[in-house]
Structures are given as C-alpha cells and as structure tokens.
Amino acid sequence: MKEVLLINGPNLNLLGKREVDVYGETDLEEIKNKSIEKGNLLKIKIDFRQTNSEGEIINWIHEVNEKFDGLIMNPAGYTHTSISILDSLKSVKKPKVELHLSNIYNREEYRKKSLTSEGVHGIISGFGVNSYILAIEAINELIKNSIR
C-alpha cells in the first residue's frame, strides 16, 4: 500500500469555528476522516497531521524522502511567508501537491502569492473540503506516473 503524508499548517485546528464564511463549517477531524476514507478507496494510507509550528512542518517534510510515496500539504498562512518551508519542499524527491480550502487568488492581495507552490508539482485551491479529495486523487496519479 502506498503511503502519503498530509500536513496541515497553522490554525487549521480551528476549522469549523474560525472564519466559517471563508473556510466552511467542516472541522479538521471530519476532513481527516474523509481523507483517510478516500485514501483507502485508492489503496493509499494517509498519515494526516496538523501543527501550528513551522519547525515541526519542516521536520515532517524531511521525513518524506525516506518514509512516504508522496506529500500533500495545506501550508495555510505559511503559504505566503515561509521560505524555509519552500526550501524543505525543494529537497523532497517525491510527488508533492499543495492544497487550499479557499481560492487564494480570489482573496486579499497578500494571499495571492504562494511561496510554497514553487516547491510542489501542483496546487488545488478553492474547492472547500473537496480540495482534500482532489489532492489525494492528484497525488495518486502523480505516484502512479512516477512524477518526482
């Protein structure tokens, strides 16, 4: 069975409570359950994690080359600010997909630039909870086609 690390960045632990007009009412636990269910359908084990710490995200990214077949990440606020996360993404030689619940290109000006996207194969943005499902489908295709 393939294994994919799915990292969720800062404040995503508050989904369903914070800015529901932007991010929706679904909490992270429900997203986790849906993600694991989708992974099971595709024969992918999803290792679903969340942290508010940039350093922890970087350490997790460093695990990917040795332990996982691919990486999915919702970097949240670090999308627009973290060169350190970008640098760690560039070190990963496995398929990588970035996702966002909201359409970052249809938001505030400072959210329209994704630093982290320069270190991934593709971005899924603006489909709400379905962004997670689409990201799992995308990483599955990238792994099957051996995109590195």
Instruction: Please list the active-site residues.
Output: 23, 100
From 1, 6, 32, select the one nearest 135 (Cα to Cα): 6
101, amino acid identity: L
Contact 145, 71 (CB under 8 A): no
Number of C-beta neighbours around residue 27 at 10 A: 14
